[in-house]
A = this chain, B = another copy of it.
Amino acid sequence: MKPSGRGPRKSDDFGKWFDYVLSEAELLDVRYGVKGFVVYRPNAMKIVARIYRMLEGELERAGHRQVLFPVVIPLSNMKKETEHVKGFEDQVFMIERAGGEELQEKLVLRPTSETAVYPMVALWVRSYGHLPLKMYQSVAVYRHETKATRPLLRGREFLWIETHDVFPTEKEAEEQVLQDLDVEKRVCQELGLAFMVADREPWDKFPGAEYSYAYDVPLPDGHVIQIGTTHYLKDKFTKAFDVSFLGRDGKWETPVSTCFGPGVGRMLAAVIATHGDDGGLVLPFGMAEHDVVIVPIQQKGQEESVKSKCAELLDKIGGAGYDCALDDSDRSPGSKFFAWEVKGVPLRVEVGPKEVAERKVTVFRRDTRTRETMGEEDLLARMGELKGDMLKTLARRSQDLLREKQKRATTRAEVTDLAAGRYIIKMGFCGERGCADEIRKATDGYEVRGRALDESAKPSGNCAWCGRPALRTVYVADAY
C-alpha cells in the first residue's frame, strides 16, 4: 500500500521529516518562545511516561530506590570537583535573585546532580552497613547549550533519569556499570530499539568520570542518537565531598561510585526517528494516542448498521483491555486514515457495509501498511498476535539497520568514503585526539564515539587514519 504521507519524505530530508512529525503528530510545540525549551504535548507525554515507567521498573528491580534532590544547587557545591565544574560552568543557568532580593548564595539549575547528591551521601554513609547505596531520580536537567538547539536532540531542558550509586569496592561499582547497560538493553527491547555501546574516548568522558559508556542508536540517515551514558566515577566525587565509611575491619575507607543517565527525551527521539516512515509515526502498542482506531466506511442508506457495528466493536476491543477509539467525526475516511497514521496508531479497524454483511472486519497494521480481512470472531485473537508481531517487526528492522549501517574501514580512503555514504564506521584507532580531530574535519563531523564494546579489547592491525598501531577498535559516526 502506498504511504499516504503528504509531508517531507524521511529518506529525502530526515531533519525536515523529523520536525514535520513532531508537529503533525502533535508531539511537541516548538513555539514556546524560549530558545531550547519546548512544550511536550499529550502524544509525546504518553510515550515519555511509558519510557519513565519502564526505566523506573527496571531500576527498582535492580535495587535502586527513588529520591528527589532540589532543582537548585549552590554554586559553591559545583566548585568542589575541579574537572566537573570545568565541564559545566559554561552551561549553567544562574539564579541570583528571588522575591526581588539578591540571594546570599548563588544557585544554579541542576545540569546534573552529583554536586547536590554527594554532600548528602557524606551524611548518610558512615559504615559498610549503609552500602551499597543505589538511588535514582526522574527529573529534567538544564544546560545552556551554545550550539544550535534542536527539539529532543539538543535542548536546554533535558528529560532523563539519573542514578547515583555508591559502593564499598571498585569491583561492585564496575559490575554496576554492566548492570546499567542491561537496564538500557531491556528497555530498548521493549521499545524495539537496537543500540551499540562505546567506551568513550578520554577527552569525551563525563567531567569527573574514570570512564564512560555511551549508548548510541543508529538512524536511517546514518546519524546516531546517544540515548544514555553510564559513568564509573571511581572516588572522584566521594573524595571531593569527603565521603567515608567504617569498613568491616574497623578502618575508614573511601567508597567509589557510578552514575547512569538514560535520556528519556532522547529515547523518545530515537523511537520517533527509528520506527517512523513517510506516513509519520510508527509505534508499538501502548505508546500511541490509541492502540486501535475504528473508522466507519459509510455508504448512503447503510449508516445505521455500520454505526451499530462500530459501537459493538468498540465495546468488544475496549473490553479486552486495548485503548480503542471510534472516529465518528465528520471527516472523510481518507483524512481519518491520514491523521491516525501520522500519529502512529498501531491498528485501524475499517467497518463498511460489506464487513457488516459478511460479519468481517478489515484491519490495517501501521508497521507494514498492509490490510487483512478476518471474521469478527477472530479479531481479538489476531490482535493479540499482531501486538507481539508488530514489536518484533520494529525491533528486527532496527537490528537490521544497525548491521547494515556498520562497515569496517582499514584505510583513510575507506574512512572518508564510508562517511560520505553515511555509514557507521568501525576501525582500528591509535587513541590520539589529533587523529580524531582530523577525522572530524575530513568527514564534516564524524566523531570517534569510543571503543566498540562488542569487539575484543586488543585489536590487530593499525589505525585506519594514521597507520600507527591500533590500541582499540572504535565506532566513528555522526551524532545528533
Contact = CB atoms under 8 A, between A and B. Distances in A.
A337 interface: no
A122 to B, nearest CB: 10
Contacts of A65: 42, 45-46
A37 B73 CA distance: 10
Interface stretch (A26-34, A366-374, A383-391, A446-454): A26-34
A66 B42 contact: yes
A40 B116 CA distance: 12
A71 B144 contact: no
A39 B66 contact: no
Chain A, interface residues (CB within 8 Å), range: 35 or more
Interface stretch (A89-97, A187-195, A298-306, A353-361): A89-97
A146 B70 contact: no
- Please give the count of copies of this chain that the complex contains: 2
B157 A33 contact: no
A45 B72 CA distance: 18
A130 to B, nearest CB: 11
Given A32-B120, A40-B68, A94 B98 contact: yes
Given A32-B120, A37-B70, A107-B34, A42 B135 contact: yes
B98 A144 contact: yes
A96 B413 CA distance: 49
Interface in A150-183: 157, 159
Interface string A75-98: 001000000000001111111111
B45 A66 contact: yes
B91 A94 contact: no
A343 B150 CA distance: 46
Given A68-B45, A72-B37, A95 B98 contact: no
Interface string A119-143: 1100110000000000100001010
Nearest to A124: B29
A74 interface: yes
Contacts of A116: 32
A380 interface: no
B48 A68 contact: yes
A109 interface: yes
Contacts of A119: 32-33
Nearest to A42: B65
A27 to B, nearest CB: 11
Contacts of A33: 74, 77, 119
Task: Determine which residue in A69, A90, A135 has the highest number of CB atoms from chain B within 10 A of its CB, and name it.
Answer: A69
A225 B53 CA distance: 31
A68 B39 CA distance: 6
A74 B140 CA distance: 18
A142 B93 CA distance: 15
A105 B34 contact: yes
Interface string A11-54: 00000000000000000010111100111111001101100000
Given A40-B68, A68-B45, A144 B99 contact: yes
A66 B45 CA distance: 6
B39 A67 contact: yes
A120 B42 contact: no
Contacts of A334: none
A434 interface: no
A100 interface: yes
A247 to B, nearest CB: 16
A116 B37 CA distance: 11
Nearest to A26: B124
B95 A91 contact: no
Contacts of A123: 29, 31
A380 to B, nearest CB: 24
Contact of A34 (B74, B92, B124): B74
Given A70-B32, A157-B71, A100 B90 contact: yes
List the 8 shortest-distance A-B pairs measured between CB atoms, nearest first: A42-B65, A99-B144, A37-B70, A98-B144, A40-B68, A45-B66, A93-B98, A94-B97
21 contacts: A29-B123, A29-B124, A32-B116, A34-B74, A34-B105, A37-B70, A39-B67, A42-B67, A45-B67, A45-B68, A46-B65, A46-B66, A48-B68, A70-B157, A72-B157, A89-B100, A90-B99, A90-B100, A93-B97, A93-B98, A93-B107
Given A32-B70, A45-B68, 7 more contacts: A29-B120, A34-B72, A39-B69, A46-B65, A68-B159, A92-B98, A95-B95
